[in-house]
Amino acid sequence: MITDEVVKAHGSEPSSLPFGRRLRLERERRRITLDSIADNTKIGVALLKGLERDDVSRWPSGIFRRSFIREYAAAIGLDPDAIMVEFLERFPDKAELPTLPPPRPSEYPMLRLTLAETESWSVQRRAGPDRRTRWAAIIWDLATCFLISSGLFLAMNRFWMPLAVTLMGYYGASTLLLGNTPGVSFFTRLKTEG
């Protein structure tokens, strides 16, 4: 630690002097300049002056903070570990302050979720119809689309363009209006009612 003779030579007890002043007195006793410490450690002179004034508000946090104080202590010939411990006791790192543990789950209010029941036939069968009902719905939807596009084919003497427009319109409008295709809606309703 800081030698008692330096502190006593200045007329005070070691524990009564501020931390930074004790460091400065030890550095001056050994005739080491702040500029030479800054050159050797790459720590800014302003940070070192702040340390000796007990102002570490501009010092970095975390590992850099500990590294800087250790390098400074070694540069003035003091035990880096002892100085670091005293430094962290006097100037705790706000980034490393212990946080309160999160409350136990029993301290939280219980949240319960209740799903609303609905009588809508489209919501009742979210898992989807069985295989036979699905095939019936597919055949129904495709037959309807081919009937509509065949009528347009006879009127326009084209096949692919009316088929594409019919499929897009049929599936788009039915999904928008019914939430499903007419075949699925119709056969699901038959299955649930029957």
Q: CB under 8 Å to 165, separation ≥6 — which residues?
A: 149, 152
pTM score, two decimals?
0.46
Spell out the domain ranges in the chain: 4-96, 128-193
pLDDT in tens, 151-194: 888 888 887 888 888 888 887 888 778 778 888 777 777 767 76
pLDDT in tens, 79-121: 999 999 999 999 988 776 665 566 566 655 666 777 766 555 5
- Provide the CA 17 distance to its chain's centre, in angstroms: 44
DSSP string, 81-121: HHHHHHHHHHS--GGGPPPPPPPPGGGSPP----PPP---H
CATH class of 4-96: mainly alpha
